[in-house]
Amino acid sequence: QVQLVESGGGLVQAGGSLRLSCAASGRLFSSYAMGWFRQAPGKEREFVASISWSGVHTYYADSVKGRFTTSRDNAKNTVYLQMNSLKPEDTAVYYCAARQSRVDTYYYDRREYNDWGQGTQVTVSS
């Protein structure tokens, strides 16, 4: 089990950029696949991006592909989500999630994840 704390959210104009961070506690961070999800008011939590424990494999939702990039620094127990060309429809609470995995792969189903952060608000104004 890991504890996750997101940061970096805020208010930004359309077309702008933000970088979210997710800091994890625990010594086994490098064995966890990590995911980013978001939830807008009145909507279900949806997948955004995932990265394997090595950082080699990544996967993105079609809605963010080409605009968002996830990366990780296992030495710092941190995963990042760089968000560029933001749109008003990107407005949501963003969550990071962790799943211990023997296989170096990504996961896009939220039911695969055991540990979640508290979320950080991202608001994109038009």
102-123: per-residue pLDDT in tens?
999 999 999 999 999 999 999 9
pLDDT tens sequence across 27-63: 789 999 999 999 999 999 999 999 999 999 999 999 9
- pLDDT of 27 reads 77
What pLDDT was estimated at residue 22?
98
- Report which of 8, 10, 20, 27 is spatially closest to residue 70, judged by C-alpha positions: 20
Cα 98 to Cα 50: distance, rounded to the nearest angstrom? 10
The more confident residue out of 92 and 26 is 92
Confidence (pLDDT) at 26: 79
